[in-house]
Every structure is written in structure tokens, then in C-alpha cells.
A and B are shown apart, each in its own frame.
Chain A
Amino acid sequence: MKTLWFNYLKYCLPDWGVGVLLCFLLYAHVAYYIPYQLCELEHENLFVSDTDTWMRVWETPGGLADVLGLWLTQFLAIPYVGCFVFLLPIFLLWPVMICLLRQAGASFAFVVPVAFGSVITQLLVQYDFNFNQSGSIALLAAWLFLYFLSQIKPSGCRWAMFMAGIPCVAWLFGSIVVVYTLGGLILFFCRRNYMWAVVSLAVLGVMLAVGYGTGCIENFRLFLSPAFYYCSLVEFPVVHWISWVIPLLLILIVRCFPSFGSSLRLGVRGIVVCCLWAVVTGCFLHYDPSFRNTSNQTLWRLNHYSFMEDWKGMLDFLSSRRPITNQLYMNYANMALAQIGSLGDHAFYFHPRGVKALLVEANSTASVYMLMSDVQYTIGGIADSQRYAFEAQTALPRMCGVQTLMRLVKTNLILGHDAVAEKYLALLEKTWFYKEWAHRYRKFLHNPRALEADVELGEKRRGMSKHNRFVMSHGWNRELEDVLQSDPSNRKAIAYLGLSYLLAKDLQGFRNFLETYYGTEGLKQLPLAFQQGVMAVYPQDVEKWEFYRVSSQVKDLYLSYVKQLQGLQGYPGKKRQMKKEYEYTFWYYYMFT
């Protein structure tokens, strides 16, 4: 016994230390690289905490894994806690795999790093935004169940339990039953009791056939693969099979070579162990970018800022990424600027290109629809905001998310569709984290006076178009004009409208805009970009400069701009030269963008 413990401490303690250190590093990795992916997962899902939800556990194959996975998503947006919740089922795989590998006969020497290999493969797969956390929960459950079975000594009893477990695992955890069955066969029956193994496989086959025949299993191929836990709208990447194949392979190897490594000298063992850790770490670092969705992290981050209404955070982040070439990011930038009231002053700070810098076109993804809903909500286009929020909701994998629901509550309240707002509120009231929010908004139901007194909702309702027409029937500018007709004090809409003329380089339109709106409640004083627009529209008309109260700094800058431009006539590096001093001006945009 003493020797056993000595061996254990000698071989495993350093390994455990390395493993725990790696766990911390993985946590840091997740916290650094994908915190906003986790937020997006939270925003795109809704866990309604009631009996109906938990009853779904029994309704379809994989119900328990699905409900548990969904339950976990509600914690993912909590800073740092979300990362831990995301990693928890994966980290738990590690001790379970160690126990199982030991049970399979692996020597102390290599079991810890080898088991960590399955943690890494599962983490890589779960990095994929479209892979549901239920897949990791199901894998953990399958291995855990097998470990408990391995503790049963009488082989007949263990076999019976194993057999009984096949339908249970299939029903509660879904396609992971394949791993469970194969893993069980390797662990318990690969070197003896072949008949039991054959019978077990037959049971699995019969169960699948019955499931298919009765319609419980709709897609046979899906039920035999990890694609069961993957978003059904997206093609399943074949490489994701690693999360099933690698651990099964490890157990198989251990079963085939149980005493491997036990006879090696201590030094050699040490080298092999170090190599194993290096391979595990190296594989993770090498393959991580190909599993992790690197292209959408920024979009999810911006969406999270928008969800939290953290406009300053959004602008700070975007400032560090200038120049912005992505129109989606540009939409967020302009929206954040409008929200803090400085769109007119910093309109060219992020290098916008064209009118789509204000509002992109729909591309049928939930993220873009939600962004469009956000922009429309910002300017007061409530009907359109509602439309895009609903489209975003329809595009979500589960067709219901916290963020879309909250927007739908607000827009329906503003539009006076209280009954459906009440339906959504009732759902949000059954969540842990949005209960309070829902209670707060419930007071606006059937209470127009309270709604109109509310700073946000009241302003939006007052700004609603008094006359009906079809949305976008006469273009974006007409939408904004309509909003302004109802609420001339809407500075966000004014900023968007003026800027849309400037971005379109429509000087005549901008001139009309000035004539219509200058001096109204929302445009008593022209912001910087509009003053620059005045200089472009009336380059020689000093009276107009005075009338529109163009500041002396803008005038001086314009004069120096014109002078420098004239001086550089014919010079091939003119654009570069002008950019140095005037890149944030409308004049530079007008001539060189």
C-alpha cells in the first residue's frame, strides 16, 4: 500500500500539477479569446425556469443533455463565471477519464497527460459556436456512467446494468449512446465475454431500429454521430468526430497495452511524460484557431456592448481598431456615437464609406438582423426595429433568445401591442437574470400614461410616425424625415439624416436638409461634420457660414485644406499628404474616399 502511494505521488503529483496549471491556462485562454462568444450564446438563448422546461427532459432523445446545456447558457454572460461554466463539463472529463483509464489498466506513469488529451479534443469542439454544450455534458455523463459501472464487481450484474444503461443514455443524452456502448465494450468485454459484447451491440441496434421505427429517432445518421449536438442549420464538420474518437482510441490502446510504460526507467518515463504534455499542449495551440470562430468574435463583442448599452466601451474598443473597414462594425460605431450624442461631431473618425455605414442590408443572419433592429431602435424606427428583431429571433437556432425578446417587449409596448408584449414578459419573468427587468416593464402594460412618462419608451412613442406608410418605401432618408416630423427634437435621427446626405456626397440634399432642419429643436447648433458640410456646400458664401454659425476653427481648417489642395495639384501623393491632416474631415471623405 505504501509503495502504491509512493508510486502514485512520484508519478502523478507532478502530472496533476501540470494538469491543474493547464486548466488555469485554458480558463485564461477562454476568458481572453471567447468571452463575447459566451455572451452571444447567452443572448441567443432563453432558459425558462419552469416545470414545462424540465418536463422536456423526457420528451425527446437527448432531452436531459439539451435542457442541462440550455440551463448552463444562462450563466455564460457573467464575467469570468461564464468561462468557468463553459469549461466545467470539459474539466470534469479529466478526472473521470483518469479513473477510467486506470480502470482499463493504464499505468500511473502516463494516465494524467493522456486523459488530458480528451479534455483538449472536447474543448476544441466546444469552441465551435455551433456546437451545443449539451454535447460535452452528454460525453461527461457517458464516461461517468461507465466509471460507475466499472466499480461493480460481479460481471453479470455489471453487464446487466450496462445493457440497461443503453436505452437510458440514449433517451436522456442522445447520440452519445454510441460512445457509451463502444466505450463499455472496450472497457468490459474486449478481452473476454465476446458473447456479451455481441449481445450489447445487438441491443443498441435493436434500440436504434425501434427508435427509428417509432419515429423517436428522425434521422438515423444524425443519431449515430456528434452532429446530434450541432446546430442543424450548419453543416457538421467531420473533424469534430475527434471528441468521440480520441478518448475511445485512448481506452482501446490502454486495453491493448495495459502494462506499457511500467517497465520503463524513471528518466525515460519522465521524458515520455514531458513529450505527452508537449503533444497535448502543442496540438491545442496548433489547432485552436481552426476550431475557434475568430471572424465573429468582434461582432459578438459589439453586440454585447449594444445589449448592455455600453456605448463608451464600444467606442473605446472600436477606437483601438481604426480604421474600420467592416460595415457592420461601422454601423455599431455610428450607433454608439449617436447614442452618446456625438455622431455629428465624430462622424468621420472611424472612416465610414457610403450610406451603408449607417445601416447595412439584411443578410438573413440573426446577428445582422439584430444590428439592424438596434439601429432602427436608436433612430426611432420602431416598426422596423420590431420587424428585424422578430426576423433575428426566427433566425436563431432555438428561435427564441433573451436579447430579441427584450427588444420585442419594448417595441410591442411602444406600438401598443400589449397582449403579445405580455406573452414575452411572462417568459422573461421565468428566467433568473431577467426577472427584475420583466417586472419593471410589466408596469407599462395597458398603462399608456406610465409608458409615456418613461424616458426611453415615452420618447420612442412620441417619435412614432403619425401617418402610416410602408417601411422603406421611399428610402432611408424618408424614414428619418418621418421620424423627425413626429419628433423634431430627435437628435439621433437628425444626426443620421444629415450624415446620410454627407456620406452619399449629396450636397444638394444636405443643403435642403440644412434649410429644413437648422434651427429646429434637434438642430439648434450644427455639429462639426455638418459645419464642414456647410463649407462644402457654400465654399464661397461667407454669409451662409455666419448664418450657420460655422466655428472659426472649421473655417480656418477649410481654408488651409483648400490651400494645401491647390498646392498639391498634380502631385501623385496628394491623397496621402492630405490624409495626414484632414483624414477626419468631410472634405477629405468627399474628395478621396
Chain B
Amino acid sequence: MKHLLYCVLVLVGLGACTPDVRVDVRWEEESPFAGEYAGIVVPVNIAPLNFIPTDSLVFESVLVLSGSGRRLVVRDKQGAFIPELKAWKALLSSLRGKEIEVEHCVKTEQGWASYRPFTIAVANEPIDPYLVYRLIPPGYEKWHEMGIYQRNLENFEEQAVIANRQTDYNCINCHSFCDRDPDRMMLHMRAKHAGTLLIEQGGITKLDTKTDRTLSSLVYPYWHPGGQFIAYSVNDTKQLFHVNHSNRIEVIDYASDVVVYDVRRNELLTTPALFSKENMETFPAFSADGTKLYFCSASNQNMPEDYEKVRYHLCCIDFDAETHSFGQQVDTLFHAEINRKSVSFPRVSPDGHFLLMTLSDYGNFSIWHQEADLWMIDLRTGKTEAVDEWNSSSVESYHSWSSNGRWVVFSSRRGDGLYTRPYIAYMDHDGKAYKPFVLPQKEGGFYQRFMYSYNIPELVKGPVEVDNRRLVKQALDGEIIKVKELE
């Protein structure tokens, strides 16, 4: 028995050993890792990155991560190089505000050689520790399994907030948080057990949000920072399939409006500017201080024939939370026709200085638009430009800010053109954007075999702690409160 124990210990010891890497030759050539990782900025509290080479590696390789006297050797594990969690954390802590030097070393017949090293910056500011998203196959009309999940960004733990296998496989969508507060959230359920679940400080309310005067139940949400209001769109939406187009399908609105739901009074507010027959208003978003309501607006077209003519402007209107009233004037921040682009998902940074939005050639359902890109408006100067560092030739669509305003998570289909993955990117105080990296996973080949899309990635300040079973019980059997008619 003793011998066996010794053998096991020796084997474990051998396995844990890292090769002695003494580089004899330094190549000027760029490492196959550099394209993806050189120049990225990572938060100090992020889980270990997945270093995956863009080309297959010819030689036995190791990655040497170093800085401030620390050195971490990372070995290949099924085609990916993923640092050990504790060692990675220690390295990041010691290099906060500095850079990690990444040296890709390969074992040749002549000994160890290395590619030209590259660096990864470690930002001073941490990212919010949790990311909440919906996992759903990127399908069309049919759905099956989906759910809203939360991922601890500091490690690899993922947990279901609610999965539709618990609720008779209905459709669960549009989760949203009040100012990234995990204790204040909402989500919708469609088909079976339809309703909107409002979660506030442990209490769960189920709402029936369809009223006679609104086009539909409440759809795309955005919380007022004060927590008393949630702005929503109401939409008459259809989807159609292209025969020969770079985009597979088109999700189009035939009509839409914007309303604001008063959480305390259980009533809807709106104003003619948000509820007009001539225009379609959608994707509402409050400013950081809650005094303005941003929304997208397009004039009605003959649908579906003229779907390519529908372009959404970015507009805003004043909102007074005290008096429950809207301003009289609508400002247009981004004119769709002049710019020949259409706006979706306006999101204001927590400091109120920037507005990040998605621009596509037309329409509003940008996740199916290969040309969709992220654009930023500096609200102080009005300067509007594409965030080239974050964009790719494929889709960039939904995005959310971290509570310190330094991090953005956005969804992109750059990986394979169909399955959306969340990317994390840094933006400094001056609004300079840095190269993003994909949400790291425990296994290197994860995204290659994962058959779900990450939908609506929302950063939150902590874990969603509402009890899953209570949430399910309320979703299935909870009393439904009808939202008061719009006056």
C-alpha cells in the first residue's frame, strides 16, 4: 500500500513538473498566438485566458508568462494553453496596471527557441464579477432548450438563473438589471406561463403586461437608474428568410412604440413622441442620471417589401422621474438617413460621457446583420465614430458597460459567423478602445463544439441570488398581476 502511495506521489510530482525552458534561439517571427492576444487588456480579476493558436503548432510549445519577477509556464492541454487558476490570479495581482510578457517557446531539435514576445496589459480597474446571459441555439422559429445563466468571471463557474427545462420549455428572454444590480432584475416568458417576472430585493412579481392600447406585451427593457421605472418597447415583429443574402434572416418590425413602466404604481407612461403611428420607436435606454430617455426611431415603410429602407435614428427625450413626465422636444443624436446607417441598442456609459450603439445598414435586429458594428458617441462633444478595435467583418451587436465604465462586454459572431460569443474589451478614461478577448472558458475547445449562442450579455456587480426554485415556482404558479391600461 505504501509503495502504491509513493508511486502515485511520484507520478503526480512528475505531472506537475514544468519543462525547464531555457531559450537558446530567439526568432523574429510572430507567434501564432499573437494575432489573437497581443495588445489585449485584461481585468485584474478575470479567469485564466484561453490561449489558442490560430494555426496548428508544429513543435512542442509552452507559453511563458512573466512580469515583475514572476514567471508562469503554461503547457498545452488539448490544443489550448490555459494557465492554472491560482497561479494566474497571483500573476495578475502582481502585475496590476502593468504588462504581462508572453513568450511562446518551442522545442526544436536544436533546443528551445522562442517567437517574438508580445504583451498583454493588466488594467487597474476590475470588471464586474458576473456576466448574465441567455444561452440559446441561434435558430429561427423553433426553440427547445434555453436558459438564463450567470457566469462568475473570476473563475469558470456557471449557474442557471432559470432554465426553460424547469418551465415546460417555454421561451425565456430579455433579462435586464437595474444599474447592474443583481437584486433588481426582470425577464420575460413567452408561450406557456407567459408573463414578466420582476425581481426586486428578493420579492418576485409576475406581470401580464399586455394592454388594449399597446401593440404587444412589453419587449425590450431598460431600467431607470433609480429603479422605479423600466422603459420598454412594444413591437409587432415578424421574421423572414433570405434566399441569397449575406444575412440569413430578417427580423422586422411592422410597428413599435416605447412606453415606461412604473414599477411602484404598476402603470404605463408614454408620450406622443414615443407612441406615434407614423414612426416606429424601439430600444429605449435611460441616461446614466435618468434624466433622458434615448430610443431608436424610424419612419414607417411598406413592409416587408421596403425592409431595406427602414433606418432607425438615435433620438432622446427628457424624462422627469419626480413628475412622471416627458419633455416636449425630441433631439436626434444620430441621423440614420444622412449616415445611411440604422441604430440599435443605445447604451450610455455609467459616467454619462459615452453612448455605445450598434449600427447596421438597415433595420433593428442587428444580431442577424453581418455588417453590424459598434459605434461610440462622445456625448460631451457629439463626436461619433466606429470602434474599430472592437469591430470585425462579422456581427457585433448587443453590449453592456461595467459599473466602473472601463469595460464593455459585447456579443460577436466573428468566431464562426453564426454562434454568438461574448467578448470583453477595455476602454480608458479618454475613450480609447483596446483590443477585445473572448470570454475565457475552462476547456480550450469549448466554443468549437458549443451549439448555443450567448445572447444579451449583461455585466452585474455580484451573483443573482434569487432562489432558483422560488423563481421557477413563481414562473409556473405565481399570481399574475395585470398592468394597468395605458391612459
Contact = CB atoms under 8 A, between A and B. Distances in A.
Interface of A: 48, 50-52, 215, 218-219, 232-233, 364, 369, 383-384, 386-387, 390-391, 393-396, 399-400, 415, 417, 419-420, 422-423, 426-427, 464-473, 482
Given A394-B144, A422-B416, A470 B241 contact: yes
Contact of B244 (A232, A383, A423): A383
Contact of B142 (A51, A395, A417): A395
B7 to A, nearest CB: 24
Given A48-B449, A52-B443, A395 B243 contact: no
Given A48-B449, A394-B139, A384 B241 contact: yes
Nearest to B77: A51
B418 A468 contact: no
B21 to A, nearest CB: 25
A233 B141 contact: no
A464 B416 contact: no
Given A233-B144, A399-B451, 18 more contacts: A52-B445, A215-B159, A218-B166, A383-B242, A383-B243, A387-B248, A390-B139, A391-B141, A419-B415, A422-B416, A426-B448, A464-B244, A465-B244, A469-B243, A470-B241, A470-B304, A471-B241, A473-B240
28 contacts: A52-B445, A215-B159, A218-B166, A219-B166, A233-B144, A233-B169, A383-B248, A387-B140, A387-B249, A390-B140, A391-B140, A391-B141, A391-B142, A394-B142, A394-B144, A395-B142, A417-B417, A420-B418, A420-B419, A426-B449, A427-B449, A464-B244, A465-B243, A465-B244, A467-B243, A468-B242, A469-B243, A470-B304
Interface of B: 78, 137, 139-145, 159, 165-166, 169, 240-245, 248-250, 304, 415-419, 443, 445, 448-449, 451, 468
A466 B78 CA distance: 43
B137 A466 contact: no
Nearest to A215: B468
A466 B449 CA distance: 33
Contacts of A465: 243-244
B414 to A, nearest CB: 9
Nearest to A391: B142
Contacts of B250: 470
Contacts of A426: 448-449
Given A383-B244, A394-B139, A427-B449, A419 B417 contact: yes
A233 B144 CA distance: 9
Contacts of A393: 137
B355 to A, nearest CB: 31
Contacts of B159: 215
B472 to A, nearest CB: 9
B416 A420 contact: yes
B16 to A, nearest CB: 19
Contacts of A400: 451
A384 B140 CA distance: 12
Contacts of B449: 48, 52, 423, 426-427
Given A384-B241, A420-B416, A394 B137 contact: yes
A470 B417 contact: no
A423 to B, nearest CB: 5
A364 B417 CA distance: 25
B376 to A, nearest CB: 27
A92 to B, nearest CB: 31
A395 B415 CA distance: 24
B142 A364 contact: yes
B418 to A, nearest CB: 4
Contacts of A50: 445
A426 B169 CA distance: 29
A130 to B, nearest CB: 14
A232 B142 contact: no
A459 to B, nearest CB: 16
**Best-surrounded residue of A369, A394, A465, A469 (most CB of chain B within 10 A):** A394
Contacts of A51: 78
Contact of A420 (B145, B242, B249, B417): B417
Contacts of B304: 470, 473
A423 B141 contact: no
Nearest to A427: B449
Contacts of B443: 52
A364 B242 CA distance: 20
B416 A423 contact: yes
A473 B244 CA distance: 14
Given A422-B416, A468-B245, A232 B451 contact: no
B137 A399 contact: yes
A218 B241 CA distance: 37
**Best-surrounded residue of B140, B165, B417, B443 (most CB of chain A within 10 A):** B417
A332 to B, nearest CB: 21
Contacts of A52: 443, 445, 449
**Best-surrounded residue of A218, A364, A467, A482 (most CB of chain B within 10 A):** A218
Contacts of A419: 415-418
B243 A470 contact: yes
**Best-surrounded residue of B242, B448, B468 (most CB of chain A within 10 A):** B242
Given A52-B445, A215-B159, A471 B240 contact: yes
Contact of A423 (B142, B145, B448): B448
A391 B241 CA distance: 13
**Best-surrounded residue of A369, A384, A395, A468 (most CB of chain B within 10 A):** A468
B135 to A, nearest CB: 11
Contacts of A48: 449
A417 B78 contact: no
A50 B443 CA distance: 12
A465 B243 CA distance: 7
Contacts of A233: 144, 169
Contacts of A467: 243-244
Contacts of B241: 383-384, 387, 470-472
Nearest to B443: A52
Nearest to A417: B417
Given A399-B145, A470-B242, A470-B250, A417 B448 contact: no
Contacts of B145: 399
Contacts of B418: 417, 419-420, 423
A369 B144 CA distance: 14
B244 A466 contact: yes
A269 B141 CA distance: 63
A391 B142 CA distance: 6
B144 A399 contact: yes
**Best-surrounded residue of B141, B142, B245, B451 (most CB of chain A within 10 A):** B142
B365 to A, nearest CB: 14
A399 B244 CA distance: 26
B240 A470 contact: yes
B56 to A, nearest CB: 13
Contacts of A469: 242-243
A473 B241 CA distance: 9
A293 to B, nearest CB: 20
Nearest to A486: B244
A468 B243 contact: yes
A471 B243 contact: yes
Nearest to A219: B166
Contacts of A387: 140, 241, 248-249
A369 B142 contact: yes
Contacts of A391: 139-142
Contacts of A383: 241-244, 248
Q: Which 4 A-B pairs have the closest CB atoms?
A: A471-B241, A470-B240, A419-B416, A420-B418
Nearest to B304: A470
Nearest to B241: A471
Contacts of B416: 419-420, 422-423
B302 to A, nearest CB: 13
A383 B244 CA distance: 7
A419 B395 CA distance: 13
A364 B141 CA distance: 9
Contacts of A215: 159, 468
Nearest to B169: A233
A395 B244 contact: no
